[in-house]
Amino acid sequence: MRITVTVPATSGNVGPGFDAMGLALALYNQFEFEPAERWEFVGFSEKYRTEDNMVVRAFKKTFEAANVPPRPFRVALTQCIPIARGLGSSASCIVAGVTAANYYLEGRLSARELLNIAAEIEGHPDNVAAAFHGSLICAYEQNNDFYYVKYPVCESLLFTVAIPNFTLPTAKARAALPDALSYDKITYSLARAINIPDAMGRGEIDKLFFLLDDRLHQPYRLALISESQKFRSFSRKHKIPFWVSGGGPALVFVSKQNIDYMLQHIQLDFRWQFITLKVDRDGTRVREKR
């Protein structure tokens, strides 16, 4: 039995929701799984054409959790989510592997067990939870189990993603963060994070402009992103909220109208691509192909 697993792009953190809040976006990677005599990979760059890639690691870990020996598969990837830009490309691979494995295990593992496996591999739950379930997700860990709350997002909101032609490795983005933060910075960010779901649900752009500001991680990561100051100036001038997507370097702008043409008028030295997306509300989907 062949199956296709479709996984949305995700934007982690969503401003001050560091490692806890994620948003699913209507941009997708598709993974086709078919039983084979050995592992085969189609559509993967050469670097990831090995059994050590995230898809296979997640697949095998799910089988191991069910105490079943894993089988080899042919995996064909149709990729739309850019790699190493902060849009959940690794999360999409992990969620695809876990989801496909549980399908071939006939649903032996629960949704929470799948989230636990995915979050353990990823290292944090925000992207994988949003990829599994769609919409805006707030996730947390308790006694080594991961939980999430799913929030609605206003239909009228558009998310314009600014994607540069350079990467920012996650390890470098993490290394830029300070070892300690003052209480005032933590309180500043926490007070904003807890109000983001309500503002997203109501489509309150004016509130999001202030709520998406953050002092936990974004100031340090913006310093690593070339030309980020130009985008900050644009945001302030037009009162259009934005955040650093995951560890960067992609940026996400929130509006109720298409702003591509406005962003394209910014004088930029690097090549940036602007894609306007709606929120993905359904999360990961599986389709059988007989």
Give the pair of three-digit tokens for residue 146.
């991961």
**Could you tell me if residue 74 is inside a domain?**
yes
In this prediction, residues 158-178 reach a mean pLDDT of 92
**Could you tell me if residue 289 is inside a domain?**
no
Do 218 and 86 form a contact (C-beta atoms < 8 A)? no
- Residue 170 has a pLDDT of 82
Say if residue 195's pLDDT is above 80.
yes
Q: What is the residue range of 101's domain?
A: 2-152
- Residue 289 has a pLDDT of 81
State the helix-helix crossing angle for 54-65 and 89-104, rounded to 10 degrees: 40
Q: Answer with the one of 152, 172, 196 that is the final residue of a domain.
A: 152
Say if residue 171's pLDDT is above 90.
no
Rounded CA-CA distance 275/27 in Å is 10
**Could you tell me if residue 224 is inside a domain?**
yes
Say if residue 5's pLDDT is above 90.
yes
Q: Do 162 and 195 reside in the same domain of the chain? A: yes
Say if residue 290's pLDDT is above 80.
no
Q: Do 67 and 10 reside in the same domain of the chain? A: yes
**Could you tell me if residue 209 is inside a domain?**
yes
Q: What is the CATH number of the domain that holds 103?
A: 3.30.230.10
Say if residue 1's pLDDT is above 90.
no
- Residue 9 has a pLDDT of 99
Give strand pairing partners of 2. 289
Report, in angstroms and rounded to the nearest whole number, the Rg of the chain calculated over CA atoms.
19
Rounded CA-CA distance 199/254 in Å is 12
Q: Do 266 and 124 reside in the same domain of the chain? A: no
**Residue 171 neighbours by CB under 8 Å, 6+ apart:** none
Q: Do 22 and 162 reside in the same domain of the chain? A: no
- Residue 237 has a pLDDT of 96
User: Minimum mean pLDDT among 145-149, 152-156, 218-222: which range?
Assistant: 218-222
Rounded CA-CA distance 260/257 in Å is 9
Rounded to the nearest integer, the mean pLDDT of the chain is 96
pLDDT tens string 103-136: 999 999 999 999 999 999 999 999 999 999 999 9
Q: Do 9 and 126 reside in the same domain of the chain? A: yes
Pick from 252, 255, 2, 225: which is nearest to 130 by CA?
252
Give the pair of three-digit tokens for residue 93.
């691979």
Q: Which residue has the tokens 């962003």?
A: 263
Q: Do 212 and 260 reside in the same domain of the chain? A: yes
Q: Which amino acid is at 104?
A: Y
**Could you tell me if residue 286 is inside a domain?**
no
Backbone φ and ψ for 168, nearest 5 degrees, come out as -140, 100
**Residue 199 neighbours by CB under 8 Å, 6+ apart:** 207, 208, 211
Q: Do 38 and 87 reside in the same domain of the chain? A: yes
Give strand pairing partners of 275. 161
pLDDT tens string 71-115: 999 999 999 999 999 999 999 999 999 999 999 999 999 999 999
Q: Do 91 and 165 reside in the same domain of the chain? A: no
Percent of the chain clearing pLDDT 90 (strictly above):
94
Q: Do 6 and 141 reside in the same domain of the chain? A: yes
**Could you tell me if residue 108 is inside a domain?**
yes
Q: Do 108 and 225 reside in the same domain of the chain? A: no
Do 89 and 83 form a contact (C-beta atoms < 8 A)? yes
Q: Do 141 and 203 reside in the same domain of the chain? A: no
In this prediction, residues 58-73 reach a mean pLDDT of 97
- The count of domains in the chain is 2
Q: Answer with the one of 130, 152, 174 that is the final residue of a domain.
A: 152
Rounded CA-CA distance 263/249 in Å is 16
Rounded CA-CA distance 286/290 in Å is 13
Q: Answer with the one of 152, 177, 192 that is the final residue of a domain.
A: 152
In this prediction, residues 196-203 reach a mean pLDDT of 99
Q: What is the CATH number of the domain that holds 173?
A: 3.30.70.890
**Could you tell me if residue 119 is inside a domain?**
yes
Whole-model pTM: value is 0.95
Q: Do 8 and 134 reside in the same domain of the chain? A: yes
Helices (H) and strands (E) in the chain, counts: 11, 11
In this prediction, residues 182-195 reach a mean pLDDT of 97
CA angle at residue 260 from 258 to 264, to 5 degrees? 155
**Could you tell me if residue 173 is inside a domain?**
yes
Say if residue 19's pLDDT is above 90.
yes
Pick from 195, 200, 87: which is nearest to 135 by CA?
200
